Each structure stands twice: as structure tokens, then as C-alpha cells.
């Protein structure tokens, strides 16, 4: 649970300070936006400028679950 709390704090901090460069270099997350959690404690968020939806699972691994990384309307990747 500490990893999850730390990730939420980092995402909010990066968004508030517009620290997109720090976010990208340290975590590989580009312009995080919107956060939700499912019943299995997986955290979902959008990489707004990265054009992806990602999941931070309860074991601490980040997965791209939708999006191609390219803007447009050609499917969900």
C-alpha cells in the first residue's frame, strides 16, 4: 500500500507543478491525468499527452492497457 500511496502523491505532485519532464525521466509517465482504483487495488490513470491508459497493479508494475501512443481515432491500441 505504501507504493500505491507514493505513486498517487507523485502523480498529483507532477500534475500540480506541471513537472512533465521530471515525470517522464523518473517514472516513464508522461502528463498523468485522472486516477481511479478498482476492487483489486489496481490504479488506472491516463497519460494525456502520451495518448495511453495505464494500470499500476497491486504488485507495483505499470502496464499500458489502451492507446497507441499516437493521437487520433484509429482504435485503442
What pLDDT tens digit does each residue of the chain (77 aa) get? 567 677 777 776 666 554 444 444 455 677 777 888 899 888 888 887 778 888 888 787 888 888 877 777 665 55
Domain boundaries in the chain?
A: 2-66
Claim: this prediction has a pTM higher than 0.75: no
* CA proximity to 29, closest of 53, 5, 9, 6: 53
Q: How many angstroms separate the CA atoms of 52 and 28, rounded? A: 12
Local structure of residue 11 (DSSP, 8 states): H
DSSP element (H, E) containing 26: helix 20-27
What pLDDT score was predicted for residue 7?
73
Amino acid at each position: 500500500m505504501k507504493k500505491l500511496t507514493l505513486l498517487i502523491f507523485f502523480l498529483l505532485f507532477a500534475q500540480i507543478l506541471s513537472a512533465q519532464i521530471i515525470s517522464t525521466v523518473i517514472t516513464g509517465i508522461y502528463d498523468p491525468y485522472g486516477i481511479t482504483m478498482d476492487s483489486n487495488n489496481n490504479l488506472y490513470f491516463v497519460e494525456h499527452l502520451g495518448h495511453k491508459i495505464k494500470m499500476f497493479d497491486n504488485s507495483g508494475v505499470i502496464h499500458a492497457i489502451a492507446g497507441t501512443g499516437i493521437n487520433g481515432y484509429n482504435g485503442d491500441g
